[in-house]
Chain A
Amino acid sequence: MTKTTKQSFTRRGLLKTLGAGAGVAAASNFVPDLARFAHAQGSGPIKIGFQMHATGIGASYGRWYDRTTQAAVARINDMGGIGGREVEIVTEDDGTDPKRGAEVVEKFATQHNCDLAFGTLFSHVVYGSAPRAGELKLPYFVVSEGHHVASGKLNRYTLQPGITDVKSQVQAMAPFVSENLGKKITMIYPDFAFGHDHRDYFTAAIEAQGGEVVASIPIPPTETSFTKYFPNIPRETEVLYHVMVGPGVLTFVKELGEFFGPNGPKLFGFLDSLEAVSLASPGLEFLEGSYFWEGNPRHAQADQSEYDKMYRAAVGVDDMGASVDDPKDVSTYSHMFGCWETLNVIKAGMEASGYSGPNDRAALIEAVEAMTDMPHSDDHPQGAKVFNGKTHQTFGHQFISQVTDGKLVVKHTTSIEDGMYADEVDYTTQSF
């Protein structure tokens, strides 16, 4: 039995298989050529490459970014597409890995002939992918929160029009924390670019408020057990500022509760620590009364806007922020709105610039750079935003919620100006 299979695997057979494979590859190379021809005629679909965290530590986010993206595209197509052309999403998994991210961007540009790339969340993947997007002259719309875009470290092809960045978020939070919770703060954050943004900019922002960060504790994002990090929290701590990502977030919060018991400091967390995790999970009762930053309130508020209602229904999220099909499947509500809004910005940019194909990529970027006010609307259900074309970064409202009877209730909404800071770069001066 084994012998026959061995014999059938001959050199000739191998060559045949290889030949067939090469033929298929050649054919598939030919098909995108046809598609490009169709593009030139302005009749084919607009192809948007979606860099998805389908596997790896970002998979919980990736799944919801995908659902939001599909819902947003369905809505755009129902309204007649972009400039009369249908929008098609080409999804590639990046494994939440920077190296793979750069390869995916390359695939979008050369293999799939996408008009642009979109959708990355994790900041290390953005850092890995953006330089390649710049080299390939492929517009790269990230939905990442990192300060990397506005810091000037990336390039003219990378934009973040749909979600605010960490620097802006923490700057808007700091006054609330120092006035209402305490001035001696210990920070716990994931040990990569996104966490470092939190460390650097929150430390600066709280010092501007007369507060002090007494200790900062980085944790590797792939860590699975956390209690061993907590003894480094100094006893003088008044407020524990926590932000964590990755599949271990629930363990993190739970161990935090077990560690402190009833005598702990006040807690202020970024909802990242609980994205895709139900507040009703066993062991999270201790969070009652603690405060969270939210990018977009997960639980439908008493004063819920019409836009949020429409957006929730379109994506398939119930009033508790979970999937309408499975109440245990909790969304990443504080982040995924960015996909929806970014796609609408792309639509507006393409229509304003009369985009017809990859040759108009520079015109698309210039059209987005020219945008400023984005009013609260169906296109921007999270709230109004102001886009800064020079830094390629958008600014918006932030929410501070308190856990009340197991629900996140918004206590304070910051103004757009609270999160603004001086420009660090002017991308518009860079050549295409």
Chain B
Amino acid sequence: MLASLEGAVTAAILALTAMGLSIVFGVMRVVNVAHGEFYMVGAVLAWVVASMVGANPVVGFVAALVIAPLVVGLIAMTADKLILQRLAYDPDRTIVATIGLLYIIQQTTLMTFGPDARPVQPPFNTRLSLPWFEWGENGFEMFWPWGLSITSYKLFVIIAACAILTALWLLMTRSKAGLIMRATQQDSETAQAFGIPVGQVYSYVFGLGAGLAAVGAVLVVPIQQAHYLMGHDPLLLSFIVVIIGGLGSLPGTVIAAFLIGMSDGIISVFFSPTLAKIIATLAVALVLVFRPQGLLGRVER
């Protein structure tokens, strides 16, 4: 029970972060190695905003949830204009460029924000214990063991992530912006011929991808504190998720995030967290061998 709840929280955050990576790859064919750092900047900004707003944790959190993804999105769009556009989105060179971006962002954060982990107060946080039933000396008993609990905030994270993912799905399938993105994804040259400003679309998509990572980070920061090295794990897991789900496939990403998050939670609790990481990596290897396009990916033409 605890295992699946912990897993669901991991899965929710992972789905948001990996979705950003997946959209960027799907539309732009750019492997964004700096994705984890956008996540980290989102978390750090959440702390900055929340501590500037001050006393009331609810106001601070909501402000962070709005401002941090926007700022991160803007940073990403600037990076796209300054760097990626000048490389003509060449796949090899963008990888190297985003690795560079990773270090620039990480070290800038270290120099300005400092090395300490910073907490953000959750807007609400009640510890909900779950009872456990056991056939004891006095017959059937109910007791409240340690460990078997979740906080209301963690439940909120799961719900919020589902809501955002639904909104994203609606955006991609039902709106004009989504149509333009999908058109660019399918064939950018034809899209350009039909008057779609592909360069602009790329910038917005890169910003959107980074913004999604930042949303995930703002949601997670009341659970795990913001610090300048936190981008590494989500980057790795996002790549695992995106590869398993199929590069560029949004439903595949969600399914894979759920699988990895849940298996991480359950295996970690019952066996060991190291084993969970081993299994996730093994899954990537198996998917690459037997289904290189990913679970729901389409074969490249």
- A261 at interface by CB-CB < 8 Å: yes
Q: Are B228 and A247 in contact (CB under 8 A)?
A: yes
Q: Which residue of B lies closest to A231 (CB)?
A: B269
Bound Cα distance from A328 to B232, whole angstroms: 26
Q: Are A263 and B144 in contact (CB under 8 A)?
A: yes
Q: List the A side residues contacting B276 at CB < 8 Å.
A: 228
Known: A230-B147, A247-B227. A63 touches B114 (CB 8 A): yes
Report the tally of A-B residue pairs with Cβ distances under 8 A: 98
Q: Which residue of B lies closest to A217 (CB)?
A: B272
- A307 at interface by CB-CB < 8 Å: no
Bound Cα distance from A179 to B157, whole angstroms: 43
Min C-beta distance of B134 to chain A, whole Å: 11
Min C-beta distance of A90 to chain B, whole Å: 20
Known: A55-B107, A224-B230, A248-B224. A258 touches B116 (CB 8 A): no
The one of B115, B149, B268, B269 that contacts A60, using a Cβ cutoff of 8 Å: B115
Q: Are B147 and A277 in contact (CB under 8 A)?
A: no
Q: Are A251 and B115 in contact (CB under 8 A)?
A: no
Known: A63-B114, A224-B230. A261 touches B129 (CB 8 A): yes
Min C-beta distance of B261 to chain A, whole Å: 12
- B side interface size, CB within 8 A: 41
Known: A228-B265, A260-B147, A277-B117. A250 touches B107 (CB 8 A): no
Contact digits for B97-125, partner A, Cβ 8 Å, 1 yes 0 no: 00000000001001000111101011001
Residues of chain B from 222 to 259 with CB closer than 8 A to chain A in the complex: 223-225, 227-230, 232-233
Q: List the B side residues contacting A227 at CB < 8 Å.
A: 6
Q: Are A231 and B224 in contact (CB under 8 A)?
A: no
- A side interface size, CB within 8 A: 41
Min C-beta distance of B130 to chain A, whole Å: 11
Q: Are A228 and B117 in contact (CB under 8 A)?
A: no
- A119 at interface by CB-CB < 8 Å: no
Q: Are A228 and B119 in contact (CB under 8 A)?
A: no
Q: Are A282 and B119 in contact (CB under 8 A)?
A: yes
Bound Cα distance from A227 to B276, whole angstroms: 14
Bound Cα distance from A21 to B114, whole angstroms: 33
Min C-beta distance of A161 to chain B, whole Å: 27
Q: List the A side residues contacting B230 at CB < 8 Å.
A: 224, 247
Residues of chain A from 375 to 403 with CB closer than 8 A to chain B in the complex: none
Bound Cα distance from A282 to B232, whole angstroms: 25
The one of A255, A264, A277 that contacts B116, using a Cβ cutoff of 8 Å: A277
The one of A60, A228, A261, A330 that contacts B273, using a Cβ cutoff of 8 Å: A228
Q: List the A side residues contacting B264 at CB < 8 Å.
A: 228
Min C-beta distance of A245 to chain B, whole Å: 12
- B197 at interface by CB-CB < 8 Å: no
Q: Are B110 and A55 in contact (CB under 8 A)?
A: yes
Q: Which of A55, A56, A233, A265 has the most CB of B within 10 A?
A: A55
The one of A57, A63, A235, A281 that contacts B229, using a Cβ cutoff of 8 Å: A57
Contact digits for A222-260, partner B, Cβ 8 Å, 1 yes 0 no: 111101111101010000000000011111001100111
Bound Cα distance from A263 to B274, whole angstroms: 28
The one of B2, B115, B144, B151 that contacts A247, using a Cβ cutoff of 8 Å: B115
Q: Are B127 and A261 in contact (CB under 8 A)?
A: yes
Q: List the A side residues contacting B232 at CB < 8 Å.
A: 222
Bound Cα distance from A254 to B225, whole angstroms: 10
Bound Cα distance from A260 to B268, whole angstroms: 18
Q: List the B side residues contacting A283 at CB < 8 Å.
A: 119, 125
**Extra 7 A-B pairs, beta carbons < 8 Å, given A231-B270, A247-B230:** A56-B229, A228-B265, A228-B269, A229-B268, A250-B225, A251-B223, A276-B115
User: Could you show 20 A-B contacts with beta carbons less than 8 Å apart?
Assistant: A59-B228, A60-B115, A60-B117, A224-B233, A225-B10, A225-B223, A231-B147, A248-B117, A250-B119, A251-B223, A251-B224, A259-B147, A261-B129, A263-B144, A265-B146, A276-B116, A277-B116, A282-B57, A283-B125, A329-B114
Q: Residues of A at under 8 Å CB distance from B? A: 55-57, 59-60, 62-63, 220, 222-225, 227-231, 233, 235, 247-251, 254-255, 258-261, 263-265, 276-277, 281-283, 328-330
